[in-house]
Structures are given as structure tokens and as C-alpha cells.
């Protein structure tokens, strides 16, 4: 008869109502500031800049290539290249960002910057308690605020970070091997009979070339 369904529905809601008082697993609400649940590993919200070692300025992986700046869909990354160079993790001299700002009020958490970065320098963070009283300056993060150690990366995304580390180690090993080979070649050349004049010049040139490769 008409109305049966309504009565059934009413019984169902009544059961929920009463049940929520007696059985704890019905209430799935997490009382957030007091209770927290650990974020799952794939959590991501805004990018941060990874650095190695203790000094964030020296260890920053970013080489200011500005690829991410160009790729960012809402154009919320602002980079200024440095004038001088500093050695990167393989010891090669590289540019570094004199300014690296991300406006997280514009960022849409798309992770494209992470995907395009060839230097594993930018990764997604999980920090979400970012409220501030200054909605313009407070949400424009500069490179100091963005810089976080590699250990932090390991903490929030362990699997991914391990992969990245392995890749970097491999690269470094390769670069080391190359450098070693180059150095050996140079040494061999230098050791060869110094028939020609200007020995020092000849030895210096291949070494420089090797390091640029």
C-alpha cells in the first residue's frame, strides 16, 4: 500500500539515530583538532623544495632551470636565476634560484611542477594547516619557507623518496665514474711524454670538458 516505503525509511533513520548512540563504529567522524588520522601515503597538497644535507641554501637541488615556472598551469611559480653558480650534488657548478616563490593561494595542487622537474628538486608536501591572517603575503611562500630537507620527503612519501634517492645515487655513481674516467684519461695524457709545450694547458682542457658533460 502507498506509504509503506515511507514507514520503512522512517524505521531506517530511527535505527541510525538510536544506533549512533550505542555503537561507536557507526560514528565515523574524526574530531579533527584533537584527533587525527595519519595521512595516506599518496596525500599531496602543495609543492616544496628538497634540499640535501644540513644547510638549506647550499643543499637545494633546484637549479633554477625554470621549467616548472613555464609549465605551471595557473602560473603561480616565480623564479629568479642567480648570477653566480654553486656546486650541485654531483659537485658540478650550477645556477641556483635567487628567488623562488609559490603563491599557494593560486596553486591548484596539480603536481605538474613535480612531474616536469628534471632534477627531483620539487616535491609535493602534505602540510595542510596553512591558515594565516595575511591572505596575500602569508600565502606567498618564498624559497626559505619552501625548502625542506630530504628527510622530510622520506617521512611523508617513503616509497617515492627511496626511488628518487636510488635514481640520484645511480646518476651520481655514473657521473663519478665518468669523472673518474675523464680524470684518468687526463692523468694518462698528462703522464704521456711531454713532447709539446704548454703541458698545463692541455691537461686542464679535458678536465674542464669532462666536468661540463
Interface residues toward another protein, by CB under 8 A:
1-3, 6, 9-10, 12-14, 16-17, 19-21, 26-29, 31
**Minimum distance, C-beta of residue 130 to another protein, in the bound complex (Å):** 21
- Selection from 150, 126, 64, 137 nearest residue 103 by Cα: 137
Count of residues that interact with ligand SF4, criterion CB under 6 A: 27
H helices present in 77-198, as ranges: 112-116, 143-146, 150-156, 158-191
**Minimum distance, C-beta of residue 186 to ligand SF4, in the bound complex (Å):** 30
DSSP state of 38: P
Residue 47 belongs to what H/E stretch?
strand 47-51
User: How far is the C-alpha of 37 from the C-alpha of 18, rounded, in Å?
Assistant: 26
Question: Which residue's C-alpha cell is 704521456?
Answer: 192
Give the residue, chosen from 51, 107, 126, 146, that forms a contact with ligand SF4 under the rule CB under 6 A.
107
16 vs 109 by CB, closer to another protein? 16
198 CB-contact burial (10 Å; exposed 0-12 / middle 13-18 / buried 19+):
exposed
Q: How many residues does the chain have?
A: 213
**Using the rule CB under 6 A, is 121 a contact of ligand SF4?**
yes
141 vs 186 by CB, closer to ligand SF4? 141
Of residues 31-70, those binding ligand SF4 (CB under 6 A): 47, 62-68
**Using the rule CB under 6 A, is 111 a contact of ligand SF4?**
yes
Binding site for ligand SF4 (CB under 6 A): 47, 62-68, 72-74, 76-77, 79, 102, 107-113, 116-117, 119, 121-122
Amino acid at each position: 500500500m502507498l506509504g509503506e516505503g515511507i514507514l520503512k525509511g522512517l524505521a531506517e533513520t530511527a535505527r541510525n539515530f538510536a544506533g549512533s548512540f550505542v555503537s561507536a563504529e557507526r560514528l565515523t567522524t574524526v574530531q579533527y583538532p584533537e584527533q587525527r588520522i595519519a595521512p595516506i601515503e599518496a596525500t599531496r597538497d602543495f609543492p616544496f623544495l628538497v634540499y640535501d644535507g644540513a644547510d638549506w641554501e647550499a643543499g637545494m637541488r633546484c637549479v633554477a632551470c625554470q621549467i616548472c615556472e613555464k609549465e605551471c598551469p595557473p602560473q603561480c611559480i616565480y623564479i629568479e636565476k642567480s648570477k653566480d653558480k654553486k656546486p650541485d650534488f654531483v659537485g658540478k657548478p650550477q645556477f641556483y634560484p635567487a628567488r623562488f616563490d609559490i603563491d599557494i593561494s593560486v596553486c591548484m595542487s596539480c603536481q605538474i611542477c613535480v612531474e616536469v622537474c628534471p632534477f627531483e628538486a620539487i616535491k609535493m608536501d602534505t602540510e595542510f594547516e596553512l591558515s594565516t591572517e595575511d591572505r596575500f603575503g602569508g600565502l606567498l611562500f618564498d624559497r626559505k619557507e619552501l625548502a625542506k630537507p630530504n628527510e622530510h620527503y622520506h617521512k611523508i612519501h617513503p616509497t617515492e623518496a627511496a626511488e628518487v634517492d636510488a635514481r640520484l645515487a645511480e646518476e651520481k655513481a655514473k657521473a663519478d665514474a665518468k669523472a673518474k674516467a675523464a680524470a684518468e684519461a687526463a692523468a694518462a695524457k698528462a703522464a704521456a711524454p711531454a713532447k709539446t709545450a704548454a703541458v698545463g694547458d692541455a691537461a686542464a682542457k679535458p678536465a674542464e670538458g669532462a666536468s661540463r658533460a
